[in-house]
């Protein structure tokens, strides 16, 4: 190991046993802790301290391993460093979006149909970010009787995703702060192993990524059924029922992770949330069109609608589990302030009536009553 003496001068090489109070520093890998007398390995022990490396001829061999030198802007010394591109571990490039769709359609004089299935797989630009969605669509209409036509529609979508790294602070700060790290930032140690950097928010987002467990899933479907009834010449009645169902599940669990080079976060926070919404809309619309004479035209519409929206859900969170192997809420600490739970129920109902009468004269003048 390369080390420097108590005056900060690099003096050559030594093995681990030669590190002591007089020569306490290694290359950033080894550090002598005078409080315990132990030699700490900075690759594995967060208590090890790294110091700026001044370039000497003894370090020339590192230049052949991709290291570079620069002039210290304060003291004028030559500093040796390993150039690091923060984008190499904080951005996923190229990020691909894949869309696959297949559909069939057909029909005759009595009806038509369309059915399609689609799949989307998108890699986000931020490291670890992804989104997947499966969709299905079916539309059909059928003339049951000359005066009665049925129309049906069904849409379904299932989505899963992993958002930004939980160590970041949102999209704006992620792309601003992550890419503003200096090139002297150490992303890897001498053995090629990843290093965290300044902290979990501003450093290497790939370092802790496996410690943040996330399970996000939404299922949504829409069903629409309508009947178009021709009661008599110029008089039509349309009945429609519309259901919109939205169900979401979110689970999160943080295993023990390094929040900064000297701090391990062992809170083991875990949370779960479930939410369901069902919106129902029913309406009936009666239309009447009548040509009184060549110059006079009358159109009337009368309608009724009923809307019912119901939402319910709950969430729970906890921390302080004795192990980070399981994210179940049952393992969280039952101490005061360690657990939270909440549920919600909300409902909205609207009943409405509407109507309109239009009088048209020679397609030049229009009078409307609503």
pLDDT digits (tens, 9 = 90+) for 277-312: 999 999 999 999 998 888 899 999 999 999 999 999
Mean local confidence (pLDDT), 59-67: 85
Question: Model-level pTM?
Answer: 0.76
Q: Can you tell me the mean pLDDT for 95-101?
A: 96
Record the tokens describing residue 185, joined without a space: 């930032």
Q: Is the pLDDT of residue 15 over 70?
A: no
Residue 136 has pLDDT above 50, yes or no: yes
Of 60-69, 102-111, 124-133, give the lowest mean pLDDT range: 60-69
Kindly state the average pLDDT of the residues 241-262. Answer: 95
- At 187 the pLDDT is 77
Residue 21 has pLDDT above 50, yes or no: no
pLDDT tops 70 at residue 362: yes
Average of per-residue pLDDT across 167-195:
76
Question: 87 or 108: which carries more pLDDT confidence?
Answer: 108
pLDDT of residue 285: 98
Q: Quote the pLDDT of residue 1.
A: 42
Question: Which residues, 6+ apart, have CB-to-CB distance to 147 below 8 Å?
Answer: 229, 230, 231
Residue 52 corresponds to which tokens in the numbers above? 């700026």
pLDDT per residue as tens digits for the range 157-180: 999 999 988 767 778 778 877 777
d(CA 72, CA 256): 37
**From 149-158, 182-191, 246-255, 352-361, the region with the lowest mean pLDDT:** 182-191
Of all residues in the chain, the percent with pLDDT exceeding 70 is 85
3-state secondary structure of 110: coil
Q: How far apart are CA 272 and CA 329, in angstroms?
A: 8
Higher pLDDT among residues 329 and 79, named by residue = 329
Please state, rounded to an integer, the average pLDDT across all residues of the chain: 86
Average pLDDT over residues 121-132: 94
CATH of domain 94-165+212-369: 2.40.170.20
Give the pLDDT confidence score for residue 10 in this predicted structure.
47
DSSP output for 297-358: EEEEEEEEEEEEEEEEEEEEEE---S-SS---GGGS--STTSEEEEEEEEEEEEEEEEEEEE
DSSP 197: -
* 46 — pLDDT class (breaks 50, 70, 90): very low
């Amino acid at each position: 190991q390369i080390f420097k003496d108590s005056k900060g001068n690099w003096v050559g090489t030594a093995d681990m046993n030669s590190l002591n109070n007089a020569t306490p520093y290694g290359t950033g890998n080894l550090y002598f802790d005078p409080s315990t007398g132990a030699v700490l390995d900075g690759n594995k022990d967060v208590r090890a301290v790294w110091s700026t490396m001044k370039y000497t001829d003894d370090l020339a061999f590192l230049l052949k391993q991709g290291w570079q030198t620069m002039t210290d802007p304060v003291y004028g010394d030559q500093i040796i460093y390993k150039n690091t591109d923060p984008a190499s571990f904080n951005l996923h490039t190229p990020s691909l979006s894949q869309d696959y769709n297949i559909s069939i359609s057909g029909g005759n004089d009595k009806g038509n149909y369309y059915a399609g299935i689609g799949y989307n797989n998108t890699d986000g630009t931020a490291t670890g970010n992804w989104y997947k969605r499966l969709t299905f669509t079916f539309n059909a209409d059928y003339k049951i009787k000359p005066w009665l036509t049925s129309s049906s529609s069904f849409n379904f979508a299932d989505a899963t995703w992993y958002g930004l790294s939980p160590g970041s602070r949102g999209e704006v700060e992620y792309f601003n702060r992550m890419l503003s790290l200096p090139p002297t930032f150490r992303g890897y140690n001498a053995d090629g192993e990843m290093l965290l950097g300044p902290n979990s928010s501003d450093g290497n987002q790939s370092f802790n990524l496996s410690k943040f467990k996330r399970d996000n899933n939404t299922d949504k479907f829409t069903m629409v059924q309508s009947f178009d009834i021709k009661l008599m010449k110029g008089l039509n009645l349309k009945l429609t029922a519309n259901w919109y169902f939205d169900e979401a599940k979110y689970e999160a669990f943080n295993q023990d992770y390094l929040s900064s080079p000297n701090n391990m976060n062992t809170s083991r926070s875990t949370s779960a949330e479930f939410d369901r919404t069902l919106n129902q809309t029913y309406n009936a619309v009666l239309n009447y069109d009548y040509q009184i004479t060549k110059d006079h035209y009358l159109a009337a519409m009368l309608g009724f609608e009923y809307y019912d929206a119901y939402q319910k859900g709950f969430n729970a969170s906890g921390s302080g589990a004795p192990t980070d192997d399981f994210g179940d809420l049952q393992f969280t600490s039952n101490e005061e302030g360690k657990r939270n739970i909440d549920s919600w129920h909300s409902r909205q109902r609207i009943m409405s009536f509407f109507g309109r009468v239009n009088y048209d004269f020679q397609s030049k003048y229009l009078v409307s009553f609503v």
